[in-house]
Amino acid sequence: MASSDPLHVVAFPWLAFGHILPFLELSKSLARRGHRVSFISTPRNIRRLPQIPPDLSPRIDFIPFPLPHVDGLPANAESTNDVPPDKVPNLKKALDGLKPRFADFVKEKNPNWILVDFAQYWVPSVAAEVGVPCAFFSIYMASSLAFAGPPSDLLDGSSWRTVEQLTKPPHWIITPPPPPPLSSSSSFPFLDR
């Protein structure tokens, strides 16, 4: 696409700064190339972000989506920094409550692309309804994703494993056989003289 045709990209990260900040860096890279980005997060998370360079700020719009109330989610909790680990499922439930607002936003703005994180499983169906391409932006290394399992298994829950099972490669990762044991004579033949 020619540089005279800038894209409008929606970036929607999971509510953890280890995800929000890489999405922000990607958004800045897109803005540097002349594209417009709508960066969606919660009001408090947006306030906690670092300043955008002045030359990029006209092309990055921060779109605050307040989380709906969810029983068990502490007041003002808008990221994983704000909750203990046992409350993260409540944060995820609150994020899921943003689906209707997100759908309305996408229908109104009609972006060229949506970049989504792992937690918003419902975004691809919203994007498909309005004919907007959607891409998964992973902050994880490919090897970590491979270890987690095929998406089809993750969706149906068949690849969830116990802690003990996580200590060895899963069956879908083919590993070479271990090398034969070393001995001093095979490793250092000059020592056998």
Asked whether 26 and 19 are in contact (CB, 8 A), the reply is no
Residue 68: give the domain boundaries: 8-139
Q: Which residues are catalytic?
A: 19, 117
Mean pLDDT of the chain: 90
Task: Return d(Cα 85, Cα 66) in angstroms, integer.
Answer: 21
pTM for this model (two decimals): 0.81
Number of structural domains in the chain: 1
Note whether residue 99 is domain-resident: yes
Q: For residue 15, is it within any domain?
A: yes
pLDDT tens for 3-14 read 578 999 999 999
Check residue 183 and give its pLDDT: 65
Read off the pLDDT of residues 153-175 as tens digits, 9 standing for 90 and up: 666 666 667 788 778 877 778 87
Mean pLDDT of 111-135: 97
Between 158 and 28, the higher pLDDT residue: 28
50: CATH? 3.40.50.2000
Which DSSP state fits 176?
A: P
Q: Would you place residue 106 in the very low, low, confident or very high pLDDT band (cuts 50, 70, 90)? A: very high
pLDDT of 2 reads: 45
Residue 35 near residue 6, CB atoms below 8 Å: yes
